[in-house]
Structure 1
Amino acid sequence: MGDSVASPTIWVITVVVTVGVLLVDLLIIGRRPHEPSMKEVSTHLAFFVGLAVLFGLALLLFAQPHELSPSPGPEFFAGWLTEYSLSIDNLFIFIIIMAKFGVPRQYQQTALMIGIVLALIMRAIFIVIGAAAINQYSWVFYIFGLFLLYTAVKLAKEGSEDDEEYEENRLVKFVETHLPATSEWHGTKIFTRENGKRVITPMFLVILTLGTTDLLFALDSIPAIYGLTKDPYLVFTANIFALMGLRQLYFLIGGLLQRLIYLSYGLSFLLGFIGVKLILHAMHENELPFINGGEHITWAPEIPIWLSLVVIIGTLAVTAVASLAVSRRLTRAEVEERSGPRRDFGQD
């Protein structure tokens, strides 16, 4: 395979800047836990979105095409929009988690920020594993494609279920029942002492739940973006920019999320489209001996990145417009019936 669009120096700079931004964010939030104002989250979200757009334009103007990424700019925008749309869907689960544990509003920023850091770490690991697998075995694209098709069908079914509820995973249940814990909040501390005994706090359980949930999200998002670009640097940066504004988006459009009643169907279509794209690419690069005698299937069309970008933008636009148009005419009860009461925005 060819070289990445980024040199080792660019990789180091990107990682250092990312870690620096996260540390500054954590220090600011850690010193003054609070519920952010609309002005604060709007400003920060506009900054991160603007930065992503500038980054994509820079790639469009200056990045040279190469084997891993024939169109770096469009591939980044397609990957970023896909990851961002999947992240918005993930916000529904974050809202449920915050509500379930009764996280005080002033501590929600801290929990979300730590969850985002864990998500970046886990996605970085998946990106490395995915890149290594793709470099060694072209048939991995078959697995990625089939997995995305399965996920698309599952997501579409979940979108049609009115009474779907969030269930804790086994790890969180085990920790809750086997480790000494307190039900009282102690600020943003994850451990405290009660009667001379070290116990975990509700914040520990919230962070553990967010972290394990992020792990499941990565299983969907990483194969999806590898269907749009094979350059690990573009995969990594698209994930960074998608996750960076997630905390602000949580507070900014929490109430609006409930109105996106067709989001699951839109994302299902997108994942299905990318799944088909991956399978077609796998056929084009086929080396499996039991398929076409191990020869490339030359008649299999390759979906160009410009078409992928058009489909992604068009799907998101239609989903948002249709959702808001229909939900505007519905009562709150009717919206909950279509989107599921699981999407209620947090609690104080």
Structure 2
Amino acid sequence: MELPVWFEISTFVGLTVLLLADLALVVRRPHEPSVKEATAWVVFYVGLALAFGGIVLAVTNGQFATEFYAGWLTEYSLSVDNLFVFVIIMARFRVPRKLQQEVLMVGIIIALVLRGLFILAGAAVIERFIWVFFLFGAFLVYTAINLVRHRDEDEDYEENGLIRRMRKVLPMTQDFHESKIRVVQDGKKLWTPMIVVFLALGTTDLLFALDSIPAIFGLTREPFIVFTANIFALMGLRQLYFLLGGLLKRLVYLSLGLAVILAFIGVKLILEALHENQYPFAGEREPLESIPAIPTWLSLTVILVVLLVATVASLLKTRGEVPDADGAAVDPAATDTGEPGRADALTEDERRARSATGEDQHRS
């Protein structure tokens, strides 16, 4: 069964209107959302994704709905892991807290455009060359192994070559000018650091897509499902950034859980390529029934169970630990022994740097 054209068009129109309305709200009133506000928006977008899956079920069939839920959960869980790097980027460029909503929103829109191109290219290649599943599968397994090997290492962010070159070539102001990307100073037109931040978020998310896009193509080959799953995963990312905050560091087993999911989907891709047994150099061949093809419902079950176990185990592991301003989990008993806390040990320069990013607001 194919997806109705009217349904695809109306979905994209509705999502475009929603994204533009969300962007307009952010631009009109730049601020740091409260926990209550961020929670309400996260619940709204999660509920919207769940409702959309129900609509897909009603309009098409259970297969497409299951594929959407599995793809959305995978992309959403990978996006949560990406928030670690987003936090580092915001601190690295010292983006004021009240501007971070708009920065994230524009970065997400850039990421959606880039991912859209990535998805179209991937769909066209898979349609003609099923053997690329071997490459996708091997890459996901390799990524999973690296996640396990480096899961205890601290996240860091390094500017890519394009961003470093922009900082050298473009005439740029030292400070942010609200959300403007270009201003006039002393009769000269100058870029603001905001343009580099936008580019950093967009290009960084594109690098994340190198594992997330192959992963979701391992769950569905329908480009519409792939793209909508990405949209729903990214739409609530901005509010999730403010809701989780320092709690991100408590998810100590998230990378391990994601490694299991990516490895599972990688194996699924390889088995599916073997099962179909269709390669241009071998001519037309019958599918190999002896090679099992993992059904989507099983993939969805595995993803749900792994995420649940990783989250619960992480919270139990860090139980009683309180995230500090950097998001690192610390033992509150350390402050009861008369030992100076991290806030007291800050140098004056560090205080000014953190004040620029709004991190000291967590201590007020």
TM-score between the two structures when normalised by the length of structure 2: 0.86
Could you list the per-position Cα deviations for residues 220-244 of structure 1 after superposition, in whole angstroms to 9, with x for gaps in the alignment? 1111001011111111111111111
Partner of 1:211: 202
Could you tell me which amino acid in structure 1 is paired with residue 274 of structure 2? M
Partner of 1:186: 177
Indicate whether 1:326 and 2:323 are aligned.
Answer: no
1:124 aligned onto 2:124: no
Whole-Å Cα distance in 2 between the matches of residues 134 and 53 of structure 1? 28
Matches within 5 A, 1:250-289: 250-288=241-279
Offset at residue 45 of structure 1 (A): 1.3
2:152 to 139, 150, 160: 160
| Corresponding residue for residue 60 of structure 1 | 57
Pair 1:319–1:123, CA change in 2 (3 A): same
Correspondence for 2:10:
13
| 1:159 aligned counterpart, secondary structure | coil
In structure 2, runs of 5+ residues without a counterpart are 331-353, 359-364
Partner of 1:312: 303
- Paired residues of 1:57 and 1:73 also in contact (CA < 8 A): yes
Confirm or deny: 8 A CA contact 2:111 2:203 kept in the other structure: no
| Residue 135 (structure 2) pairs with residue 143 (structure 1) | yes
Counterpart Cα distance in 2 of 1:97 and 1:133:
33
Determine if contact 1:122/1:218 at 8 Å carries over to the other structure: no
TM-superposed CA distance for 1:49, in Å, is: 0.8
Q: Residue 189 of structure 2 aligns with which residue?
A: 198
- Aligned residue pairs total 332
Cα deviation for residue 255 of structure 1 reads 1.7
CA contact (8 A) 1:4 1:233 kept: no
User: Any idea what the Cα deviations from partners look like across 1:302-325, whole Å, max 9, x if unmatched?
Assistant: 111121111100100010011110
1:99 Cα deviation after fit: 0.7
TM score, norm. by length of structure 1: 0.89
CA separation of 1:291 and 1:86: change in aligned 2, threshold 3 A: farther
Q: Is the contact between residue 289 and residue 295 of structure 1 (CA under 8 Å) also seen in structure 2?
A: no
| 1:52–1:241 Cα contact (<8 Å) kept | yes
Give matches, 1:17-166, under 5 Å: 17-64=14-61, 71-161=63-153, 163-166=154-157
Segment of structure 1 superposing worse, 289-298 or 204-213: 289-298
1:36 is paired with a residue of what secondary structure?
coil
Following the alignment from structure 2 to structure 1, what is the Cα–Cα distance between the partners of residues 40 and 82?
A: 22
* More relative contact order, 1 or 2 (CA 8 Å, 6+ apart): 1
How many angstroms apart in 2 are the aligned matches of 1:224 and 1:175? 32
Aligned residue type for 1:134 = I
Kindly tell me: are residues 36 and 337 of structure 1, through their superposed partners in 2, closer, same or farther at Cα, counting changes over 3 Å? closer
CA–CA separation in structure 2 for the residues paired with 1:39 and 1:336:
22
Paired residue type of 2:93: F
Cross-structure match for 2:229: 238
Secondary structure at 1:203 match in 2? helix
Look up the match of 2:220.
229
Q: Deviations over 1:60-113 (max 9, x none)?
A: 344136xxxxx1111111111001000100111100000111110100000000
Instruction: Supply the RMSD in Å over aligned alpha carbons.
Output: 2.3
Shift of 1:160: 2.7
Residues 118 and 214 in structure 1, CA contact (< 8 A), matched pair in contact too: no
Q: Deviations over 1:18-72 (max 9, x none)?
A: 211111111121122111122221211111111111111222344136xxxxx11
Higher Cα radius of gyration: 2
Match of 2:190, SS state, is: strand
Does structure 2 conserve the Cα–Cα contact (< 8 Å) formed by 1:4 and 1:231?
Answer: no
Q: Distance in 2 between matches of 1:89 and 1:164?
A: 10
Percent identity, aligned pairs only, is: 53
Matched to 2:147, the amino acid is L
Instruction: Give SS of 2:150's match.
Output: helix
